[in-house]
Amino acid sequence: MNLIKDLPLSIQVSKKIEDDIIFGHFLPGTKLDEVELCERYGASRTPIREALKLLAAEGLVEIRPRRGAIVPEVNPMTLCEMFEVMAELEGMCGRLAARRIQDDEKTKLLSMHQRCAEYLESGDSENYYEMNRQFHFQIYLASHNSFLIEQAGSLHKRLHPYRRLQLRVSNRMSNSFAEHEGIVQAIIHGNEAEAERLLREHVVIQGQKFTDLIATISTYTKS
């Protein structure tokens, strides 16, 4: 099953615009003209506008009155700080999930983990990331804390372009899956402290790998 092709067109387009921003095709300060975007991505204005709204919610695009969509400056230090906060929120989600997860939620989490294994084996980073995203949101839901779910979900969405891109860094996808294995076992066996520690480290690793991410972006931009 191809998760990406099953997504709404607006989300598929948003991922393409996302890549073009991160890889330097659209530089900071660039005005994203809807007509040009329609031609570039072969889509009508409706999914383009919906895609821009999605990207604005993630902070990759700013929609300004009378100016339209603009690519803003991205501060690497701010991204690092966001990863630090995300690590703490995910750790808390893991701890509560290990305490409160229901049997049907365990089944869903294990199923998602298995799907990640299949995408890893085929080297499909895009579909791996989409299932990885659902995997993390399932952990948030298993915390059964609505405010925490809202906050973790919101920050995850802000960071998702960079988390997705990091899977293209050498060995990151296989390392991510190995880390997931420990997280899953800790949660389904009710090991709260271990689940919290592993999830925090899982996201902090992403932050520590930020220099690899910047190098990857630079490589794509120069190519």
Q: Which residue type sits at 86?
A: M
Q: 3-70: which CATH topology?
A: Arc Repressor Mutant, subunit A (1.10.10)
Compute the Cα dihedral for 45, 49, 50, 55 and give only its sign: positive
Q: Which residue spans of the chain are classified as CATH 1.20.120.530?
A: 76-222
- pLDDT digits 0-9 by tens, 125-160: 888 988 999 999 999 999 999 999 999 999 998 888
Q: Which residue spans of the chain are classified as CATH 1.10.10.10?
A: 3-70
Rounded to two decimals, the pTM is 0.78
- Tokens linked to 112: 């998602």
Rounded Cα–Cα distance for residues 140 and 157 (Å): 13
- pLDDT digits 0-9 by tens, 192-221: 999 999 999 998 865 556 666 666 555 544
Which residues partner with 69 through β-bridges? 32, 63
In CATH, 76-222 is 3.50.50.60: no
CB count within 10 Å of CB 173 equals: 21
Confidence of residue 4 (pLDDT cuts 50, 70, 90): low
